[in-house]
Structure 1
């Protein structure tokens, strides 16, 4: 069992590691910013950009190095996925998909860091790790996943209007998926159509956010439970779970990317 878990008990240990380092504005917790999620998210994105920039500077038309070959493999993989799903102009969608995949993957990968690593750093720098809160997995924060999913939602609305026009998009909200002949039938089905379309559009960001958050939060919680075991059992349980969690990290990034492309592709379709 980790020293922190031994000193305060497993329940207190888990509660401590599930508490964000946040700044609250106003009298309610709703108006608050989780500094740890924002800091790690920006850092993960910055490291990814720096990595790609450094490899782009060293890129060669001849035999590529290992780094360039890996990036070309990722680019080919993402572009192939976009090509299979989206059949329009991919000049914006493909870079968007690549950004989402790599950024979500990097943020998810923070879950592989040792739980008490931050506490150890704080202890070395003279801070009390028992009273300083820091969560290192941004995607285990519902604010992060909803922020990304709402961005995707607004992109879906933008492409819906761009593809069909504001009038065509508004008309589609009231005339699909159920069609009727005659003015009376169209008026009768307008409210059910609008309600069904509203549910469909609102369910997209909710499902995107909750799926990613739920998987990463559960993975983080399992790591905490394993950390509360005796050290010899923690090693036996932690290593297999970490290996399995690598698959979850990549899979969740892939799902978020593919669903984003699918939703934008659906926005281009006409009923």
Structure 2
């Protein structure tokens, strides 16, 4: 599913083409997403988009008439297309812009969602942790919040109440970079190691954003271009292949129902 880097890539891709544009039409072909598309989405018509922001994996499109929040779900994507571009089967929502372009939402699995947000408060946003690339996040925060926790450190950093946006791919990669076994109890990781992990999370996510995200299954950026970070994955998807550091065979297990790949030699 699109993770934080993929959503940020989408934000950067659509923002220059959306900000300052008036909405001239809205076409909802299928409102049956994870939650029904708001039946008053046409209130966008006549107003302008003034900013495109991101909070965790949610896109926030500031508009004269409110804030539209979009989640890409498991397989959703936003593309800018010409108004006459033929509609594909899973193209569920079109937002026509005064430039002649259309912001088109495509979602085969229909797990994405559209919501109105009031004053940046919404039930889906209110309990989220800090942004991992912000000054509010570091290893010391992870250390403080981990005390007494017996859950595996990988599941701990994937908890959006602790820090947002560290999905399965990036948790695998950051823990490898930091040399920490993903199944180690979160409460048994020392401060110095959390400081290393905090830096690794920033480096992995920042690198993925710069390269356009990680292409897995259906994800493409806002301009239709795929991400390329997958070419540099050190452990995720490489079970039983040689470790890039020590050449030992990588181990695969499951934590919280998610594939987890690590090196028994390099990660302790």
TM-score interval w.r.t. the shorter chain? under 0.3
Which structure has more relative contact order (CA 8 Å, sep 6+)? It is: 1
Give 1 or 2: higher strand fraction: 2
TM-score, with structure 1 as normaliser: 0.24
**What TM-score results when the alignment is normalised by the length of structure 2?**
0.24
Task: Return the structure number with greater helix share.
Answer: 1
Higher CA-based Rg: 1
